Structure 1
Amino acid sequence: MITAYAHINGKNQSIPLTRIGKSIAWVSLIAPTEEEIKSISEKFSIPLEHIHEALDEDLRSRVEFDGKVSAIYYKAPFKEEGDIITSGFGIFFINNVVLTVCKQKVASIDRLGKRVEEGRHSNLFKKGQVTMICRLIDYINNEYHTYIENLEDNVDLLEETKKLTKKSIAKSFDINRTLTYFHRAFIANLEVLRLLSRGYLPKHRKPEEIAQFEDAYNEVYQLLEMERIQREIVNNIFQLQTTAVSMEMNNVMKLFTVITVIMVVPTIITGSYGMNFQHIPLSDNPYGFLITNAFLILIAVVMFYVFKKNDWV
């Protein structure tokens, strides 16, 4: 799908490609067909391999400049079958046009497009390509921020779960996996913005442009810190829950051990009385049975007292 936006007749609006003139325009290419790829390649003189590379699932974040076309490959978050993952997309500078190429719809970019159609961001097309690109990156960073805030809520729910269950283990794994995706994306995006803020692109080295890239860099760095904190919290919660389960198991085993030890001495004594001898102590005493059982109970009570005093039970 191809959508083009420009500021025409005093307002932002969606336009056909044929109406793109000398003013700054934004062309969004989402899940394109081969025919659409060829038409974009021919109209803006972009090599086909550049566009195909932006649609690659294993796209690596980076900045490229071949003398005519400047390209930024950036990582953005999106949902796939309920899971939150990251995927790369391409941003190309061609004369007065900013071209974004995505293999699938990215919510943050789609949201910016809708707001442009609604007439918001009236200055988006007046301040240059860098302003537009930084606004795109800002929307993507806000999307990351929203996802991390949602993960924080899930972490709070996980923290309230005092016992380690299969459900809590699965939840911890899902959160950690998402944070891992984010961590890799943030590291790659930081490197892209670091290059841009150091004037890697020859045509975009103005102080105000460098300042915008630096602001975007700082935002991503803050996201990286938020991700790191959430990862530590999740790991700490999991370790605490695991420790609690181990302590509970140890207490159960300790109780069984104490009961076993207390029963050993009475078992030995009663076993001795079970031997087939003619003369056994208290065998002729009418109170022998009661005396023996009282003695066994006394031994058990004394042993329990000793264990209790030493805080073993």
Structure 2
Amino acid sequence: MHNLTKERNRLDKVLNKEIKNKELIKFSHSQQTLSYFSSASALNLTMFHKLPHTHFFTSSYTGEQSAKRDMLEDVVIESEQVSRMIETELAVVGRIGDTFNTIANNNLNDTMKVLTVWSLALTIPTILTGFYGMNVGLPGTHASYAWIMILIFSVIIALLLLFILRIGHKL
């Protein structure tokens, strides 16, 4: 348990600086190991509670039997403490994992927001050039500088859209 706690603390410090997949995989491994320890501890505790009712202990309280019962009580107390320590560590690891999931989701949301804004901004020039690429008469298509005007108009509309989205984001 001591080694697992030290490893969890080390991984927590590393992940607080920079989230890396390699460290997250190690963190997940620690969580799995703690789950196995938790299960084993619970089974041991159940066995220790049932042990006094087996043929190893008789109803007579001779000196040897009394010493066995005292020793078993000490073992049960220690096992309960270990079980609580494992459950506490497992809860801490779970909360840390949830925190890193939240951070990763927030980072992904920020990335998706930026990509959405840029895809909207780049859609405007595509639509305008698509209209002027048709074989129909549109205003300004006969001028020799029409493509420059379309390009400038597209950039102005895209910048206006970015400005509107930026102001809307701040509100």
Q: Does the pair score TM above 0.5?
A: yes
Whichever residue aligns with residue 158 of structure 1, its letter is L
Tell me the number of residue pairs that the alignment of Structure 1 and Structure 2 aligns. Answer: 162
Q: More helix by proportion, 1 or 2?
A: 2
Q: Distance in 2 between matches of 1:243 and 1:263?
A: 30
Structure 2 counterpart of 1:220: 79
> Displacement, 1:225?
0.9
Contact 1:197 1:214 in 2 (8 A): no
Alignment of 1:296 with 2:154, yes or no, is yes
Contact 2:41 2:83 in 1 (8 A): yes
Contact 1:194 1:214 in 2 (8 A): no
Q: Percent identity?
A: 25
Q: More strand by proportion, 1 or 2?
A: 1
Contact 2:48 2:76 in 1 (8 A): yes
* Shift in alpha-carbon separation, 1:269–1:150, aligned structure 2, 3 A: same
- Report 1 or 2 for greater relative contact order, CA contacts < 8 Å, sequence distance ≥ 6: 2
> Displacement, 1:288?
5.0
What are the within-5 Å matches in structure 2 for residues 167-182 of structure 1? 167-169=23-25, 171-182=26-37
Task: Show structure 1 runs of 4+ deviating over 6 A.
Answer: 197-200
How big is each residue's C-alpha offset from its partner over 1:223-255, in whole Å with a ceiling of 9 and x where there is no partner?
A: 111111111222333333333333333333332
* Shift in alpha-carbon separation, 1:286–1:195, aligned structure 2, 3 A: closer
* Shift in alpha-carbon separation, 1:224–1:285, aligned structure 2, 3 A: same
Whichever residue aligns with residue 21 of structure 2, its letter is T
Structure 2 counterpart of 1:18: none
Structure 2 counterpart of 1:239: 98
Q: Distance in 2 between matches of 1:304 and 1:248?
A: 21
Q: TM-score, length-normalised on structure 1?
A: 0.43
Structure 2 counterpart of 1:149: 2
> Displacement, 1:286?
7.3
Structure 2 residues without counterparts, runs of 5 or longer: none
* Shift in alpha-carbon separation, 1:205–1:264, aligned structure 2, 3 A: same
* Shift in alpha-carbon separation, 1:226–1:272, aligned structure 2, 3 A: same
Q: Distance in 1 between matches of 2:49 and 2:127?
A: 78
| CA-atom RMSD in angstroms | 3.2
* Shift in alpha-carbon separation, 1:281–1:184, aligned structure 2, 3 A: closer
Query: SS where residue 311 of structure 1 aligns?
Result: helix
* Shift in alpha-carbon separation, 1:229–1:276, aligned structure 2, 3 A: same
Contact 2:38 2:86 in 1 (8 A): yes
Q: Distance in 1 between matches of 2:72 and 2:122?
A: 75
